[in-house]
Amino acid sequence: MVGKAGGIVAIYPGSFDPITNGHLDLLERGSRLFDRLIVAILNNTQKEALFPVEVRLEMLREVACAYPNVEVDCFDGLLVDYATQQGAAVLLRGIRAISDYEYELQIALMNRRLKPGIETVFLMAGEAYSFISSKLVKEVFSLGGDVSGLVPPGVAGRLRNHALLQKGKP
Ligand code: PNS
């Protein structure tokens, strides 16, 4: 499927709580593969997030502004419905290790069953980033570890602000 304005539109979905340098690597590579790439945050009220979706959007916009064909958005409901609304033919996901494969395969097959016209494209995580996850970044940071080089500077700053705010709480 070609987007309304022509060219291939891809969605890069995720929680991005927060965006890491691994996500950023995928975003950059995806921007070279597709004509339009929409990084879409799942607005999931059931899953407890560290950062509200508005802050995650802000953090993503700060890094995505360097890529003219990349947009940032959020969605709720089914990913394939959102992709259809956006005229997207591709869902982009990253795979870090074999442990990601099973989960990703399940999601990809479910999405294909729901909307056979939409393909999931996997990119292998860059080797320098294959150990990074949002979950581990949050854990390392909360235990006083250094996360510089794992997340964009704006994210590291927000993690510090968040920690300061928590400290100030009664
Ligand atoms: O970064 P994450 O948390 O691994 O991303 C998971 C995500 C957002 C891609 C996945 O949970 C998703 O697409 N959710 C939307 C709901 C949906 O479409 N579910 C059916 C397919 S599994």
> Which candidate, 50, 28, 72, places its Cα nearest to that of 135?
50
Alpha carbons 147 and 141: distance in angstroms, whole number: 6
Q: Does ligand 1 come within 6 angstroms of the Cβ of 83?
A: no
Q: Best mutation site among 19, 84, 107, 120 for ligand 1, i.e. most ligand atoms within 8 A of its Cβ?
A: 107
| pLDDT for the residue numbered 22 | 97
Any domain includes 104: yes
**CA dihedral defined by 137, 19, 41, 107, rounded to 10 degrees?**
-60
Q: Is residue 109 part of a domain?
A: yes
- Cα dihedral sign for 158, 163, 168, 170? positive
Q: How does pLDDT run along the chain (170 residues), one tens digit per residue?
A: 555 567 999 999 999 999 999 999 999 999 999 999 999 999 987 789 999 999 999 999 999 999 999 999 999 999 999 999 999 999 999 999 998 999 999 999 999 999 999 999 999 999 999 999 999 999 999 999 999 999 999 999 999 988 877 777 76
- Dist CA 123 CA 37 (whole Å): 14
Q: Is 111 in the pocket of ligand 1 (CB under 6 A)?
A: yes
CA of 21 to the centre of ligand 1 (A): 20
Residue 114: inside a domain, yes or no?
yes
Structure tokens at 102: 């099973």
Residue 162 falls within a domain, yes or no? no
Question: What confidence score (pLDDT) does residue 47 get?
Answer: 80
Contact 11, 115 (CB under 8 A): no
pLDDT at 1: 55
Residue 144 lies in a domain: no
Angle between helices 153-168 and 134-142 (to 10 degrees): 50
Does the CB atom of residue 95 touch ligand 1 within 6 A? no
* 91 domain-assigned: yes
Domain-located, residue 141: no
Q: Is 11 in the pocket of ligand 1 (CB under 6 A)?
A: no
Report CA(50)–ligand 1 centroid distance (Å): 17
What domain range includes position 108? 9-130
Q: What is the CATH number of the domain that holds 28?
A: 3.40.50.620
State how many domains the chain has: 1
For the CA of 110, the nearest atom of ligand 1? 21
| Main-chain phi, psi angles of 121, to 5 degrees | -110, 130
Cα of 104 from ligand 1 centre, angstroms = 10
Catalytic residue among 4, 32, 47, 169: 47
151: DSSP letter = B
pTM of the model: 0.94
In a domain, 80, yes or no: yes
